[in-house]
Structure 1
Amino acid sequence: MAEKQYEPTPTVIADDIHITYKVQSGGSTREVHAVKGVTFVAHKGEAIGLIGSNGSGKSTLLKAVAGLLPPARGHIYTQGQPSLLGVNAALMNDLTGERNVVLGGLAMGMTRRQLRERYQQIVDFSGVDDKGDFITLPMRTYSSGMAARLRFSIAAAKSHDVLMIDEALATGDAAFQRRSNARIAELRAEAGTVFLVSHNNRTVTETCDRALWLEAGTLRMDGPAKDVVAAYEAHTKPKK
Structure 2
Amino acid sequence: MAADRAAVVLDEVGMTYTVRSADTRRVHRGGRALFDGARGVRTDRVEALKPLSLVVERGESVGVIGTNGSGKSTLMKLITGQARPTHGRVYATSTPVMLGVNAALVRQVSGEDNILLGCLAMGMSRAEAVQRRDQVARLSGLDDDALQLPLRAYSSGMASRLQFAIATSVDPDILVIDEALNTGDAQFRARTRRRLDELRAQAGCVFLVSHSLNTIKEMCSRVVWIEQGQLTMDGSPTVVTGNYARYTRHRSRGEDTAAERLLQEARDAVRRIRVDWAGGEP
Determine if the alignment matches structure 1 residue 86 to structure 2 residue 100. yes
Secondary structure of 1:212's aligned partner? strand
TM-score of the pair, normalised by structure 1: 0.90
Give the aligned residue type for 2:234: D
Give the aligned residue type for 2:200: R
How far is the alpha carbon of 1:34 from its aligned partner? 1.6
Q: Report Cα offsets for 1:169-226 as digits up to 9, x if no partner.
A: 2111111011001110111001100110010111111111101000011110111121
Determine if the alignment matches structure 1 residue 17 to structure 2 residue 13. yes
Secondary structure of 1:45's aligned partner? coil
Secondary structure of 1:159's aligned partner? coil
> 1:192 maps to what in 2?
204
| Residue from 48, 65, 78 that aligns with 1:34 | 48
State the distance in 1 between where 2:83 and 2:165 align: 25
Higher normalized contact order (CA 8 Å, seq sep 6+, divided by chain length): 1
> 2:79 maps to what in 1?
65
Look at both structures and tell me which one has the larger radius of gyration over its CA atoms.
Answer: 2
Determine if the alignment matches structure 1 residue 53 to structure 2 residue 67. yes
Determine if the alignment matches structure 1 residue 100 to structure 2 residue 96. no
How far is the alpha carbon of 1:64 from its aligned partner? 1.0
Give the aligned residue type for 2:50: K
Give the aligned residue type for 1:47: S
Ranges in structure 2 where 5+ consecutive residues have no aligned partner: 24-40, 256-282
State the distance in 1 between where 2:22 and 2:121 align: 38
State the distance in 1 between where 2:246 and 2:108 align: 45
| Residue from 138, 143, 159 that aligns with 1:124 | 138
Determine if the alignment matches structure 1 residue 237 to structure 2 residue 233. no
8 Å CA contact retained: 1:83, 1:108: no
> 2:148 maps to what in 1?
136
> 2:219 maps to what in 1?
207
> 2:161 maps to what in 1?
149
